[in-house]
Structure formats: C-alpha cells, structure tokens
Amino acid sequence: MSASAPATLDLAEVSPAFDDPTRESQAVFRKVMDAVARPGTIQDLAFAPVAPQGLDRAAGAVALTLFDFETPTWLDPALRGGAAEGWMRFHCGCPLTNDPAKAAFALITDALAAPDLAAFNQGDAKYPDRSTTLVFQLPSLEGGAQVTLIGPGIKDKASLALAGLPTGFWDQVQANHAKFQFGVDLIFVAGDRLTALPRSTRVTLRGD
Amino acid sequence: MAVETVVEGAPERRRWLSILAKAPAKDVIAAWDGLAERPAYRPLRAPEIGMVLVRGRMGGGGDAFNLGEMTVTRAAVRLESGETGIGYVAGRDRRHAEIAAAVDAMMQSADLRPAVEGAVVARLARGQDERRDTAARKAAATKVDFFTMVRTRSPG
C-alpha cells in the first residue's frame, strides 16, 4: 500500500461507479480489447459513469474494469491521497504501490512528470505478460505530433496524433518496442475516448 | 491485500451490523417491508456475492487458524440525505445485503434512526436471542454431568 494512503477510507467521499457492474465492465473490456487488437483505432466509452475529480470517464471505466485485488497499481502523485484514490480503493479494491517496477497497472494523469517507461515492470522471460500496463490520461487523443504505426493488427499503416505527451516520449516507446517480448503496453484515454499501443506496434515519427 | 474499511462509531455500529449480518434473510426482509416509510437510496456498490475466510482462535491463547470459507454478500448504499451504509451479510441473498446497508445508513441519521432502531434492529436482536436460547436449552438437555466418587482408600 502507498505510504501516503490514509489508513481509513471515508465512505461519504466515495461516489458511485457502474450501475450494472457485470454488463458495463464487459462492454469496457471489449472496447479495451479492440483498442489493443487494432492499434490506432479510437474507441468511444460514452456510456461510462462519471469518475471522481482528477479522472476522466474513460480512465475511471478502465480502472473499474481491469484493476482488482490482484493488480498492484501505481498512481501518479497527482492522484495520490485524493478522491480518485479512495474511489479506486473502494470500487476496485486494488492494492496501491509506490514502486513502478511492482505495478501491474499504472495510472498517469500528468504525462510530463511520469517516470520513464523503462522504470515500470518489463515482464520476465517466462511471463512477459506480467509487465505493467500504463494508462495515460491525456488532454486529447488528437492534435499532437503525428506518429505512424506498423505492426500486428494494423493493415498497412495507421496513425495517431496524441496531445500532451512529453518530448522524447516516442523515443521511449521505440526503445520499449525494441525490447519485445519484454516491455510495457500503453493505453491512452481522454474524456470518454480510448486508444492503445501494445508493445508489438512499431512507431515512427514523421520525418524519421 | 484487502482494503480496510474502518467501522466508525464502534462498538455501537459494530453491534447493529453484526445483528443485521447474522439475521436470517427472510426476517430482515420482513422487518424492512413492515416499515411504514422507507427512504430512497441509490446503490454505491451493487450487491455482490463472494467468499470470506473465517479464522478462529482456540481458547483465546492459541494461534489463529483458518476455520473455513463462508459465503458473504455485500452492498453499500447512499441515502438521499447523504448517509452511507454498508452491509455484509451471511449467505447469498442480495436483497438482504442491500437492506442491511440501508438500515446501517438510517441508523447513522438522527432523523431516521427511530424508525428502524426498534422495528428492525431490536426485533432482529430479539429473534437472535431466542434462537440462541433455544439452542442452549437443547444442548443443556443432553448434558451429562460426570462426577468422581470420593476415593475411599485411607491415606497410608
């Protein structure tokens, strides 16, 4: 558990989550699966419930669907100790960790201050799937520097122009891809939209 | 690692949560349906069924051991007036858990508490006392008192 986490959880501060947890989490899971299977496509999570302060609806929906008691979760400092942390502790029941290398999931709302992708769990030779899956909450999934995507799940090529990522981020993504089978998988959310970049996708910046 | 939700207002709140948890589902539902007015609430956590590991301690001085698993249903609701209640109940009756949570929330509100304190909590507590009493009587009826005859051998 994160050292900054309060020992007690004030239930009066926790807002509701899915109205119908089974169906809604299955619907979100399907969207996430499609996003990972077809990198570069943008999925719409308009049905997701309102998430607590600091989290977009798509980020909250991904947390409710994927995080549970078996997934140590790393929250970026902007989320720690806030309404979002209490909400996730109550609804997801996920243990929190301060060590990115131990995290099954990481939820990042301030991409500029995030640790390097290599700081997270890269998986091991027997279980490369045990690496961290990072969820980046961005201001927008459009309007940033355009990158070209090639790899499994993409016919010919696809492109993304994610906004709000730090300079040098795509170098980290390329280094992450170069380590395949190791490496982290990335989910990007903004508002109620979602896209994903698995480690198998080769990313090139315009001009490379 | 489990999320800890600390019970506030313990041990009083612990007492009524315990009564609601152990009461038979049909008694809880009957008591709730018998209320003249039931406040509106919305689910914070829809009722869900799971298992908990029950641990015990032999004698009080012994180490904790795993007694076994039992089925538990839990729910959390929020009343329109803002109180939040939780219900963890034995068994797999979703409505039982939801009612337990609603009663817990009402017990925390000074306005709503009189409506449920006697009609639900005290009523269920009486039922539990009766069942415990009956079980104790049945057990007592089968009790055998062993005694040892005074030894007659004179001290040598």
The residues spanned by each domain of chain A are: 20-205
Question: What are the chain B neighbours of A49 within 8 Å (beta carbons)?
Answer: none
**pLDDT higher than threshold 80 for residue A6:** no
- The strand order across the sheet containing A147-150 reads A158-160, A147-150, A202-205
Does the beta carbon of B2 lie under 8 angstroms from any beta carbon of chain A?
yes
The whole-number pLDDT of residue B51 equals 94
Which of A11, A25, A94 has the most B C-beta neighbours within 10 Å, making it the best mutation to test the interface with B?
Answer: A11
Question: What are the chain A neighbours of B48 within 8 Å (beta carbons)?
Answer: 21
Would you write out chain B's pLDDT as a tens digit for each of its 156 residues? 344 455 455 788 999 999 999 999 999 999 999 998 899 999 999 899 999 999 988 877 888 999 999 999 999 999 998 899 999 999 999 999 999 999 999 999 989 999 899 999 999 999 999 999 999 999 999 988 877 767 677 665
Distance from CA of B142 to the nearest CA of A (A): 47
Q: In a 3-state reduction of DSSP, which class is residue A32?
A: helix
The whole-number pLDDT of residue B156 equals 57
The whole-number pLDDT of residue B8 equals 53
Backbone angles phi, psi at B31, to 5 degrees: -65, -40
Question: What are the chain B neighbours of A5 within 8 Å (beta carbons)?
Answer: none
Q: Which of residues 57-86 of B touch A (CB under 8 A)?
A: 76, 78, 82, 84, 86
The whole-number pLDDT of residue B10 equals 72
The whole-number pLDDT of residue B2 equals 44
The whole-number pLDDT of residue A148 equals 95
Question: What are the chain A neighbours of B53 within 8 Å (beta carbons)?
Answer: none
pLDDT tens figures, A38-88: 999 999 999 999 999 899 999 999 999 999 999 999 999 999 988 999 999
Question: What are the chain A neighbours of B84 within 8 Å (beta carbons)?
Answer: 11-12, 14
Specify whether the CB–CB gap between A8 and B3 falls below 8 A.
no
Q: Which CATH number fits domain A20-205: 3.40.1440.10, 3.20.10.10, 3.40.50.11310, 3.40.50.300?
A: 3.40.50.11310
Distance from CA of B46 to the nearest CA of A (A): 7
What is the C-alpha to C-alpha distance for residues B20 and A56, in angstroms, rounded to an integer? Answer: 37
The whole-number pLDDT of residue A3 equals 43
Residue B38 makes CB contacts below 8 A (sequence gap 6+) with B32, B102
pLDDT tens figures, A137-169: 999 999 999 999 999 999 999 999 999 999 999
Vertex B3, ends B1 and B9: CA angle to 5°? 140
Distance from CA of A203 to the nearest CA of B (A): 37
User: Quick one: CA torsion of A152, A156, A160, A166, rounded to 10 degrees?
Assistant: 70
Q: How confident is the model at residue A7 (pLDDT cuts 50, 70, 90)?
A: low
Ranges A162-166, A170-174, A193-197, A202-206: which has the least confidence: A202-206
- Which DSSP string do the residues of A92-125 spell out, in sequence order? T-PPEES-GGG-SEEEES-GGGPPPGGGS----S
pLDDT tens figures, A170-180: 999 999 999 99
Please tell me which of the candidates A15, A21, A89 has its beta carbon nearest to residue B46.
A21
**Better-scored residue on pLDDT, A206 or B109:** B109
* Strand runs labelled E in A40-197: 43-44, 73-75, 96-97, 105-108, 133-137, 147-150, 158-160, 185-190, 193-197
The whole-number pLDDT of residue A20 equals 87
